[in-house]
Structure 1
């Protein structure tokens, strides 16, 4: 039973982490010699049980591999765990235990204590500090198994642990019902959780505001005119300043015949000018067609030709990319002292 529970734990950790080479720590009584049975003392040692789950295809294969590995580990149960840590000369990290961070303890002996003249009762001790990230304590009593979980609250909350334990029980069901099944495609979630994840989580319908981007932006300007709208490097621009510059550009575009139905190509580096131009084009009633300076000249010409636009907006240092198929004209909008920007078929240099 121990090896079955351990195999299911390997599958659980493999599925949750995506790792195949997994080490689980497990305490062992250390009383394999008959002479130690009646001795009073602490003989418990910790075994580091390492298993590569990628070497098995089915649950049955994994169980066989775990059985073989565990029996070999039992042969070395007297090798002190502390000495193992020292011998490996591992780099210690105070945030986690060495060698393994997941553990499993399994108790098969009866917990009934018969002391002459005394009565006893079982008391479950609740630890306030978790020794490892995740530990399963499994108690076998008669025909029942009880599982207690100890976990690091810095990593997991109670809801997550409940879900993990449901996964663990689901794996055990799969192992016992279909031992010859491959576990690579075995889903930890039951049908109810799968439906909730696939259908429930994808119910992302959101009421869309029946207002244009321009209206939403202008509402924000009225609400917080002096709030920072744009930040780049050490420069900032408020909503009010952004609105004024975009409105000025929109008026200029409209004076050149740009309005609803127009397409306006724009060639910009990332800058305040780019955002001002986007909003200015929208405010004019037109649609903007963004182009990147990284585009080859042939693609820029193709986009410009397809838009059949009388106007392009760009920055002055990029205007040379457009010379030859548009005439150049400066537009002074004072968008940003750091950059100069242009409009026209006019190429407009938006400053």
Structure 2
């Protein structure tokens, strides 16, 4: 009596595809087919209950693959194509919409047709066309060799590979490799001393101001024995002090060991001990963050005064 019933008699079932890099594509397809057959026992299990059993909840499915096993459009057109028919049906179309952002619909026939439906607020047309190109690329490979291994499949097209290698990969640039970072900074300071060099939360330093602060710190560090091959711990929050500290240490001839003040005390102490740093450059409110046997030098912000704690 199904001819007397009207309603939506479909159910979406989530499918997980298992494969290993050494798996053959043909074997993966056989396993997927067997899994599909085994999943028929869940055909009437409500999707909302499946989602409720998953940690992903409503995010469990965001795209679907639909394989139409009945070509509705072709069958409608055939209704009016018989010799006894007094009318002809052409150009039959149907419009469908799902609640998912991306849909791949496979249509049977003498040749297989595939269509892509997508939410234009979530995907751009170029992205969908790229996905289509990747799928075609994969299909061509498995048609040529159904026993190809999964790890041999190449999703990138020849055109994309050329773009990646020849265009994006061409990163060669002229750079004064014989210069140091702080040397380049000083050269820029000489050219544009009054131009803004640093912005942070409303505070602004010109190249001249930043260079002067870094020079004062460098002189203080040298007086504390910082020279070539000496490591200095730098534990500051994201701030102007951080940049001044970096340039000051480099100008003194040393190298800095960056330490995140949010690290646990044991982690900070290990980094200082392991690096062999004998001096720690930090901010006043972080002094008590770790017990350090070496010298602690405090950055006092805008005053540009550096004192030993």
Give the TM-score taking structure 2 as reference length.
Answer: 0.63
In the alignment, structure 1 residue 118 sits paired with structure 2 residue 87: yes
Other structure's SS at 2:146 match? coil
In the other structure, the counterpart of 1:62 is 28
In the alignment, structure 1 residue 158 sits paired with structure 2 residue 125: yes
Q: CA deviation at 1:239?
A: 0.6
In the other structure, the counterpart of 2:194 is 222
Aligned partners of 1:59 and 1:182 also within 8 Å: yes
Q: CA deviation at 1:171?
A: 2.3
In the other structure, the counterpart of 1:138 is 106
CA 44–239 in structure 1, closer or farther in 2 if over 3 Å, else same: same
Other structure's SS at 1:193 match? helix
CA 286–98 in structure 1, closer or farther in 2 if over 3 Å, else same: closer
CA 48–216 in structure 1, closer or farther in 2 if over 3 Å, else same: same
In the alignment, structure 1 residue 299 sits paired with structure 2 residue 276: yes
Counterpart pick for 1:190 among 140, 157, 177: 157
Give, in whole Å, the separation in 2 of the partners of 1:43 and 1:251: 77
Other structure's SS at 2:11 match? strand
In the other structure, the counterpart of 2:264 is none
Q: After superposition, where does 1:1-351 map in structure 2 within 5 Å?
A: 41=6, 44-46=9-11, 48=13, 50-54=15-19, 57-73=23-39, 76=41, 79-80=43-44, 84-85=46-47, 88=50, 90=52, 101-109=63-71, 110-111=74-75, 112-115=77-80, 116-125=85-94, 130-141=98-109, 143-208=110-175, 212-217=184-189, 222-224=194-196, 229-231=199-201, 237-240=203-206, 243-244=208-209, 246-247=211-212, 250=215, 263=228, 266-270=232-236, 272-279=240-247, 287-291=253-257, 294-296=271-273, 299-300=276-277, 314=281, 321-322=293-294, 335-336=301-302, 341-342=306-307, 349=308
Give, in whole Å, the separation in 1 of the partners of 2:36 and 2:217: 80
Considering fraction of residues, name the structure with more helix. Answer: 2
Unaligned runs of 5+ in 1: 1-34, 302-311, 343-348
Aligned partners of 1:221 and 1:239 also within 8 Å: no
Aligned partners of 1:48 and 1:99 also within 8 Å: no
Q: CA deviation at 1:274?
A: 4.9
Give the TM-score taking structure 1 as reference length.
Answer: 0.57
Unaligned runs of 5+ in 2: 259-268
Q: CA deviation at 1:281?
A: 6.5
CA 243–103 in structure 1, closer or farther in 2 if over 3 Å, else same: same
CA 67–39 in structure 1, closer or farther in 2 if over 3 Å, else same: farther
Aligned partners of 1:265 and 1:313 also within 8 Å: no
**Higher alpha-carbon Rg:** 1
CA deviations 1:137-182 (Å, max 9, x no partner) are: 22233x3222111123343221121121222222222322212222
Other structure's SS at 2:112 match? strand
Aligned partners of 2:300 and 2:306 also within 8 Å: no
